Structures are given as C-alpha cells and as structure tokens.
Amino acid sequence: MEKSSCIHFCFISYLVLFIVVGSWYRSTNSSLPNSTLQTPWSTSKNRIFSNSKASSVLETQAQTSIDHSAEAPHHPLDPLTVQEINKVLKWSKGDALLPRKAQVLALLNGQSHVLTVDLDSSSITSHAINSSSGYPMLSVDDILAASKVPFSNAEFNKSIAARGVPSSDLICLPPSAGWFGPNEEGKRVVKVLCYSKESTPNFYMRPIEGLVMTVDLDTLEVLKFSDTGREIPIPKSTDTDYRYTAQTKEPQMEPLNPISIEQPKGPSFRVEDGHIVKWANWVFHLKADHRAGLVISRVMVRDSENGELRDVMYKGFASEFFVPYMDLDESWYFKSYMDAGEYGLGMSALPLVPLNDCPRHSYYMDGIFATPDGNPFVQPNMICLFERYAGDISWRHSEGLLTDFQIREARPKVTLVARMAASVGNYDYIFDWEFQTDGLINVKVGLSGMLMVKGSPYHQAPNQDAMSGPLISENLIGVVHDHFVTFHLDMDIDGANNSFVNVNLVKERSLPGESPRKSYLKAKRKIAKTEKDAQIKLKLYDPSRVSYD
C-alpha cells in the first residue's frame, strides 16, 4: 500500500522532471515528439513557485489512482504520455530516429517568439508570442552590448576622469542583477561594473569600486547610475598577473620531475556514433549542452553475474549554480549569480588544454551550439573523456598473520572521467563525472580561477567585523559568499519503477537483559513519498545516506 502510492507519486514527479528538461532546449536539437512543446525558462527572474499550494496538489494527486497507461494527448501543451515516454525510452540502435525538432527563441521588438521547427520537413510547427514569464539566458551579444554602454554615458566619463582612469584602461562586465522587486519586472536588466586592466590581465583584482550602472538590455538605456566609491583607491596591479610566463620569482619548493601515466595499449574506452561511451561495464550517452555544460543520459551498467545491461540513470546534469554574495552595499547587494541559467555553463566553456586539463589518451568532444544570430557555432575540445589512475586502491585484502593463508591481493583503482570546465567570468568550474567499475558514479565540482573581490579604503585590516569579508590584500576584500550547485538526477535504477530511500543512523536502546550493551546504532530506512520527504540536511551528528529501491 505504502509502496504503491509512492510508485504513483514517483511516476508523476518523473513526468514533471522530464518535461522541465524538454522545455529548456531552445535552439538545440531535440528528438522529442510534438507534444513536448513547452515554453522556455531560465534565469533567476524566471521564478518557479514551489509553495505549499503546488505541493499539496501533487500530494492530492498521489492519493488518487488514475490509469495513465492508455492516455492520449489532447492538446499541444499536454505533458508527455506514458506511451510517448516509452517511445523515447525504448528506442534502440537500428530503429528509425524519432522526428527531430528544434525550439527557437527569437527576440523581436521586445517580444519573445517561441518557434518549433520540424527539422525533417523544414517547417514551423508552432509559434507562440510572449508565451512565458521567463527571461532568456544572457547571450554573448547581450554581454558585449551591455559592456559598451558606459562609454556613451557622460556621467560615467566624468566619474572615470575624476578617478584619473583613462577609458583605454577599462574593462566593463555585466553581472546579472538578480531580482529585487517589481521595478525590474518586465525588463531585462543587468548591472554594469568596470575594472582597470592597466599593467595586468587580472583586472578582476582592480575593481572601480562603487561605480555601477543598471542597464536595460533591450534598449541599452542606463536606468540608474550609482557612484559611491570615489574615495576607494583602485588596488595596485603588482603581483596580480597569474600567467606562468609572468612569474619572476622562483617558487620556494624543489622542482618536480616530469610525471606521466602510461597506457601502452591505449585507453580502454571507446566512443561510438559520436556520443555513446562504452567502458568496462558502463554504457552511456554523453553530449555538450549550452546551459548545463554536459549531459549524461541512458546510463547503464553490465551485471557482472549475467552480463545483462541494467538501467542506472535516465539523465543527469547540473541544473543550476547559485552564487550569492553577502554584502549590502549598493554595488554588491544584487550579486546572486545563477551561472547555469544566466550565463550557461556550456556557453562559458572554452576549449580544454590538452595534457594539463586532461591527461594523455583523452578523447575530446566538441560542443555545437547556436550563436545569438542563429548560426551554428562549434566549441572545440569542450569535453574530455579519459581513464583516471591516480595510484589509488580499489580493493585489497591481506591474510597470513593469524592463519596459514598467505594472501596479498590489491587491485588498482581505474575510473572513467567525463570532464568539462566552464569559465564564468572570474571563476572556473571543473565538472567531473567519474564512473567506477563497482557501479558508483561520482560527480565532483572543482572551483578555480579568481575571486570576485571588493575594493576597500583600507590598507591594513581595521575592525574585520565591520567588513563583508576578510581583507585579502591591500585595498581588497574577499566578500563572503557561497557556491551552491544543484543537479537534476533522474535515476532509473533497474527501470523507472523505483523509490528514493533515506537511510538514517539512529540510536536504539537494548531491552533490559537483552545484552550487556545498553545502546547501539541502527540503520533506519524510510521511503520518501514526496519530494519534501526526500530532503536531507547534512549533519555529521545525524548521518544519512540515500539509496534506491
């Protein structure tokens, strides 16, 4: 009883997830049937209200029992039916391809047009205007246009002249504006901030603090000009150049000898049809995506007992990357970037550097996207695939001290990694999807690049508590912030029929006389019936882990 209602709910949430994924495929190919036409969503302004009303609707639905197996779509906006999902799911190599469609988002005179193009017949099968409340991702054209706006503003020129900065030394960037009230509703707004690149490529360390222009992206008008930091000096450029060739001092450590891992017979993985990756007991589909960076689909692992391929995950990708900064100043309060939805992790990914970003014998996959004017654009070497051997042990056991078995067994840990690196402004995010032969998938996100710093009048730390972060150098504060990554993980452990199980360690007391031991820890399993049920607050003193049934 408990299980069947969960299965029903899980199926509903599965549909919801599926549709959300289908919907943000704007100018990218999609092999979904006609009825997936949904409106695009993205950016922090595109709010999805997850309030109690919405979740109670889901809960109510979960309690009734509707037979969905023979349902047919009646309206173009109907969600995918069970049969349609199966049509996509059951496709296998050799079957005819499902109709391929592209969703195009076009901006014309302040109106957004959402078109669906049937790629087989080269015809437009749907065309909606202003069909959603969302805002599209910032395009490269948007960013370039916004970064030029200050130079046509007389107030800006005056402020820069007062600070003694020649305009040839300026680099301006448009961070997203977050969403802070109805004044910004219905407009595509960014904040433009500037830096001095005088004597360094690391302009991020030289903010023109307190100078911020709120710009309407459609009209390129300055909606608000704020200039509050004239007394804050521009931090000096000394020792800010991070490039290898610019380093003049020898590092105070003994140099490392060259190191390389050999693969005398080449790597053990192969890539078929451009995207199907096969390695050891794994098979999965890998592709580049303009928003998520990389998407892993139809992940299967071979059963070591009977050789059968078993489903593991329908689709997995980074759904958002939220970076809020904790500073209330006029020029900082809005910094709450959504790096995937606003800038695009794929759009921000530059080619990987062979041998240093990815080891020898890596396979490189290009990203193919559409530029803002609709033309195809190839980002070469955007993803790499390689086998990792870092000298770790995957399993070991020795025997012989206490018995006469003389066993020394150790197996090296070799894994397969799919890697992508996004350079979103100052930050570089490294995404690794790592597959282990024991069936585990590890997703690791690394952070590199430069801090986003704030100019400060202080040379030496005054009262640290009065600042929004530590003074990290003369006139520079590292503002307190965090990076939150969310993932869309549509698991299909042995098929779509599974449940999310939360396992907690709980303290149990033994019965009187049962054992000399008074208490013990027990693993308690709880099947999550709702998404809220499945939420976990990570706590070291109340450990939990999840599994799938």
Ligand X SMILES: *[C@@H]1O[C@H](CO)[C@@H](O)[C@H](O)[C@H]1NC(C)=O
Q: Which residues bind ligand X (CB under 6 A)?
A: 7, 33-34, 99, 110-111, 125, 129-130, 151-154, 157, 167, 186, 495-497
Closest CB 153 distance from ligand X, rounded Å: 6
Tell me whether residue 215 is exposed, middle or buried, using C-beta atoms within 10 angstroms of its C-beta: 0 to 12, 13 to 18, 19 or more. buried
**Of 83 and 464, which has the nearer Cβ to ligand X?**
83
Closest CB 487 distance from ligand X, rounded Å: 24
User: How far is Cα 477 from Cα 435, in angstroms, rounded to an integer?
Assistant: 39
Closest CB 97 distance from ligand X, rounded Å: 12
User: How far is Cα 357 from Cα 31, in angstroms, rounded to an integer?
Assistant: 32
Closest CB 11 distance from ligand X, rounded Å: 8
User: To which residue do tokens 């023979």 refer?
Assistant: 70
Q: Extract long-range pairs of 87-93: CB within 8 Å, 24+ residues apart.
A: 87/33, 88/31, 88/32, 88/33, 89/314, 89/496, 93/273
**Of 8 and 413, which has the nearer Cβ to ligand X?**
8
Instruction: Check residue 517 and report its DSSP letter.
Output: -
Active-site annotation holds for 364: no
Catalytic residue among 142, 289, 327, 339: 339
Instruction: Check residue 450 and report its DSSP letter.
Output: -
Instruction: Check residue 254 and report its DSSP letter.
Output: P
User: How far is Cα 207 from Cα 240, in angstroms, rounded to an integer?
Assistant: 13
Active-site annotation holds for 339: yes
User: How far is Cα 298 from Cα 317, in angstroms, rounded to an integer?
Assistant: 12
3 state SS of 397:
strand
**Of 72 and 328, which has the nearer Cβ to ligand X?**
72
CB 212 within 8 A of CB 194: no
Catalytic residue among 14, 427, 429, 492: 427
Closest CB 109 distance from ligand X, rounded Å: 8
- Helices and strands, counts by H and E, the chain: 5, 26
**Of 22 and 33, which has the nearer Cβ to ligand X?**
33
**Of 113 and 361, which has the nearer Cβ to ligand X?**
113
CB 492 within 8 A of CB 498: yes
The secondary element (H helix, E strand) that includes residue 140 is helix 140-148
Closest CB 278 distance from ligand X, rounded Å: 26
**Of 75 and 517, which has the nearer Cβ to ligand X?**
75
Active-site residue numbers?
339, 427
